[in-house]
Amino acid sequence: MGTSPLGRTLVIANPAANRGEGAEGAAFVQRFLDSYRGATTSHKVILTKAAGDAQNLAREARDFDSVIALGGDGVIHEVVNGLMDRDENDRPQLGIVPMGSGNDYARTLGMAINDPSRALAQLVRGHVTPLEVGRVNGVHFMETLSFGMDAAIALDTVRRRQEETTSQHGEGLFITSGIRIFSEGSNGWPCRARFDKRPEVTLPTVIFAVQVGPTYGGGFAICPDADPSDGLLDVCYNVKIPSRPWLLSLLGLARFGRHTGSSCVNLLKFTHATMDFETQPPCQVDGEELCGTHFEVDVIPKALRVIVP
């Protein structure tokens, strides 16, 4: 085994992640780091108690080389925003122990999902690489920003998990929310969008997903070529409004990235975009609701040093 890259390590853990399995995962991490002294120079494990805790803890994490987020995409999103609140020269590196339902950022990084033992082994044996994050209206995102029906689906899955109205998770949860919302249909949310120096386009937005990594919704390859190290954001958006049956078929095709050949959608890469909607659309950033009608979206290349397998 090579030298662990972790150094002085703070673990920020959401004990409620994955229907309470986060607490068990955090306890395992504590035991592991206590037992294997070569994994870190020093370490501390802190459990979050409320929304916003992880962001505050990451922002104030002084004298640490690494901050590890244990939980789902929500706690990782908070940790990323907390780290990005700090000066670039005083920003610890990021590691994740994925213990969530969607786990799309974990898929992007190639981390073991809902398996803290394997994930820790990956971190201890891992290497550090600089990766981009996205930013929309001052909020950072490590995986997904979306508008329209796909955002409504993502927000519905979060609501169902929080209200414990379902035992589903990941892909299955996304599919059942998607079938219901896509079946209802939509006339779209008209939007004027400009990507870098390309001409402005007017879109009947039903599907509009901006990606750092390839997947969202628990593994749907909405932007299959998205690469978090290329300094570019990827976007998939509809250019016309499909019929309801075609919307449902697009949902199925997107599971494996096969929707990209449809004449209903367009994909491209960009560094800066502006979007102006006539009315407020459903919008989510890494699963968190974002309100507004005007959006400024940027990529921040090599923003975070991330520990990957």
Whether the predicted pLDDT of 207 surpasses 90 = no
pLDDT digits (tens, 9 = 90+) for 99-121: 988 899 999 999 999 999 999 99
The per-residue pLDDT for 236 is 95
Q: How confident is the model at residue 291 (pLDDT cuts 50, 70, 90)?
A: very high
pLDDT at 182: 57
Is the pLDDT score of 301 beyond 60? yes
Q: How many CB atoms lie within 10 A of CB 240?
A: 11
At 143-183, the pLDDT tens digits run 999 998 878 877 777 666 555 555 545 556 656 665 566 55
Task: Please report the pLDDT score of residue 227 as a whole number.
Answer: 98
Average pLDDT, the chain: 89
Instruction: Tell me the per-residue pLDDT of 21-64, one tens digit each, with 9 for 90 and over.
Output: 899 999 999 999 999 989 999 999 999 999 999 999 999 999 99
Instruction: Answer whether residue 222 shows pLDDT above 60.
Output: yes
Determine the pLDDT at residue 254: 78
Q: What is the pLDDT of residue 186?
A: 61
Give me the pLDDT at residue 298, please: 98
Q: Nearest CA to 288 among 143, 188, 181?
A: 143
- List pLDDT tens digits, range 238-251: 998 867 677 667 77
Nearest to 298 by CA among 196, 214, 202, 216: 196
Write down the pTM of the prediction: 0.90
* 125 pLDDT above the threshold of 70: yes
Question: Does residue 70 surpass a pLDDT of 70?
Answer: yes
CB 108 within 8 A of CB 286: no
